Amino acid sequence: MNQSARSASTHFRAALGAFATGVTIVTTRDSAAADVGLTASSFNSVSLDPPMVLWSLAKDSLSLPAFMECGHFGVHVLASNQQALADRFATRGADKFSGLTVTRGPDGIPLLSGCSARFQCKTAFRHQGGDHVIFVGEVVAFDHLELPPLVFHSGRYAIATPKPESASSSWNVTEDSSSSFSQDFLIFMLGRAHYQLFLRLRRELEQHGLAEGEWFVLSILGAGTRRTLSELDELVGCTGTRVTYDQLAGLAAAGFVQLHGAYDGDVQVELTANGRQAVIELIAAAKAAESDAERHLGVDESRLLKQWVKQIIQDSDPGPPATWREVGN
Amino acid sequence: MNQSARSASTHFRAALGAFATGVTIVTTRDSAAADVGLTASSFNSVSLDPPMVLWSLAKDSLSLPAFMECGHFGVHVLASNQQALADRFATRGADKFSGLTVTRGPDGIPLLSGCSARFQCKTAFRHQGGDHVIFVGEVVAFDHLELPPLVFHSGRYAIATPKPESASSSWNVTEDSSSSFSQDFLIFMLGRAHYQLFLRLRRELEQHGLAEGEWFVLSILGAGTRRTLSELDELVGCTGTRVTYDQLAGLAAAGFVQLHGAYDGDVQVELTANGRQAVIELIAAAKAAESDAERHLGVDESRLLKQWVKQIIQDSDPGPPATWREVGN
């Protein structure tokens, strides 16, 4: 392929990448009874009656002889949490089946578990497809688990989430149905979600005699490092809460922290053993409140939610404290 | 097909649905020079050299003769905002091309615009595929736009978002790099995002002499209905802010609202013309702050973010105010 053709091929690959696909692992057994498998996104459905699926394999693939010789193959549609498996089976020369529990299908083909769908196929046709062979398989058995799918798009892994509806139909908290502002404003929604999560933590905080700002201070100290008042104030300040010397003295009197040195912004603060115990209990309570509030979001959704809120935080960051405190006070 | 086979077919379709795909519209021209097109998710890439793609069509499709007779077809990989187009071309008997601007490819095949990728193909092979015909096309021309894709999974439309990384690598706000709590806690992140968005609105509020709670009150009244103090307090209460009679009297004195009737929770409150003008200005400012903060999220991502925060709000809702105020006070 000359340089210009190579460049055309790069553009063609990129254009093909615009079509999102699931990710599959296709397996078979070679004539020496060794397990063979590879990651493929070229899978698709073909026929319902008889049930048939297809995928295609490069003619120069080392696995081609096995798929040509064996009369059966297995297609495993990967779930979102199987990215490592996809990477492993995409790596030439990897010991792909090492450590995996496989069961056996027709002709002894290896079958993997934990996939969102699995098709055991009898090769029905092998068709011409340029530099690839198109394998059409008649499905002789299949399994299906309702799992979030692993997706491939534009050369990278993705997750698929049901398309949000443009109307606010999923929003049925009764008291808000007549007020437009709460439905439309992210600022309100963030404030309300924060407040409600905080309510769940409040009882726990009250048992320790702590206010929210004090809990933020203890959490920061929970990372293990001594901090000065100035540092704490800067770290907590981005939530709109200030840290004062009196507050720290109160925490010290209650036995949560020890103060060292100066009586101003330079005072060093560190957790006591009691304080550390309180932090552990409160972190557990906060995590429990979060998990409960996130119970209808999947693992990927929860992670994405945090990623996007972080993006909002970065993109609304008012800059260094010295500048934005002027606005804030 | 008997009942048991029909049921098997339903399960088979569901299992196939586990494989996520993009959505395409495939077009051609029939022997009477009429435009033909349909929605298909059975597309996939086949060969790089020569460049080839495939898709399959049911043998009983009314469009089959056109695709059998014409030597060319066009494949349009749809973008996330083209769901209506997908629905239109999936509807038998619809006047599919009505109102659409089409350009012409080889053999006069109709080409649509605004897609994330488009392939003009010369039919290379028509292969056997059970109750479908597999069309393999050699790509003679293609276009590619970087657009978010429309995805189909488990029988419904979806969006694909790059898979979140498990590490918090995208989180590089310097002041937080050493504090574990801010990175891990949704409660903190929601509070900080809310506070930062509010900071952006604060200057605007100050120009009107308003506090955040007063802005919430005016926003609710902006929906157009009179409200009693009790109603307002209940609506705003879910953010942790209380509404008092004195506050409303202050808003009245400043010319934002008019009070009617009682001097207690039953007092009726409505916006004045001045108040309405202030609400319009503040809503514009809030929307601008949100848009700016969401500038690195796509349209679908912004919608999903709100949907998920709403889910968090629903699932952390402490219940009717009478109950949770006890906790709150």
pLDDT digits (tens, 9 = 90+) for B83-125: 999 999 999 887 899 999 999 999 999 999 999 999 999 999 9
Q: How confident is the model at residue B4 (pLDDT cuts 50, 70, 90)?
A: low
E strand segments, chain A: 21-22, 24-29, 35-40, 44-47, 52-58, 72-77, 103-104, 110-111, 117-129, 132-144, 150-153, 156-162, 227-228, 257-260, 268-271
Q: How confident is the model at residue B168 (pLDDT cuts 50, 70, 90)?
A: very low
Report pLDDT digits (tens) over A260-282.
987 777 889 999 999 999 988 88
The mean per-residue pLDDT over the stretch B141-151 comes to: 95
Q: Shortest Cα distance from A17 to chain B (angstroms)?
A: 9
CB contact under 8 A, A175 and B234: yes
Q: How confident is the model at residue A109 (pLDDT cuts 50, 70, 90)?
A: very high
pLDDT value, residue A215:
87
Q: Determine which of A276-290, B170-184, B189-203, B271-285 has the lowest per-residue pLDDT on average.
A: B170-184
Q: Does B47 touch chain A (CB under 8 A)?
A: yes
Residues in chain A within 8 Å Cβ distance of B43: 19, 44
pLDDT surpassing 80 at residue B3: no
Tell me how far CA of residue A83 lies from CA of A90, A100, B18, in angstroms: 11, 15, 16
Q: Which residue of A has its CA nearest to B9?
A: A48
* Percent of all residues in chain A with a pLDDT value above 90, rounded to a whole number: 55
Top pLDDT among B169 and A318 is at A318
Give the one of A153, A219, A310 whose C-beta lies nearest to B170's C-beta. A310
pLDDT value, residue A319:
66
pLDDT value, residue B183:
55
Tell me how far CA of residue A31 lies from CA of A59, A71, A326, in angstroms: 18, 11, 76
| Mean pLDDT, rounded, of chain B | 86
| Mean pLDDT, rounded, of chain A | 86
CB contact under 8 A, B44 and A48: no
Q: Strand pairing of A150-153 and A156-162? A: antiparallel
pLDDT value, residue B8:
74
Report pLDDT digits (tens) over A52-87.
999 999 999 999 999 999 999 999 999 999 999 999
3-state secondary structure of B231: helix
pLDDT surpassing 90 at residue B173: no
Q: Does B285 touch chain A (CB under 8 A)?
A: no
Q: Does A170 touch chain B (CB under 8 A)?
A: yes
Q: Does A61 touch chain B (CB under 8 A)?
A: no
- For A134-162, the DSSP string reads EEEEEEEEEEE---PBEEEETTEEEEEEE
Report pLDDT digits (tens) over A173-223.
333 333 444 456 888 888 888 888 888 888 888 888 998 888 888 988 887
E strand segments, B59-109: 72-77, 103-104
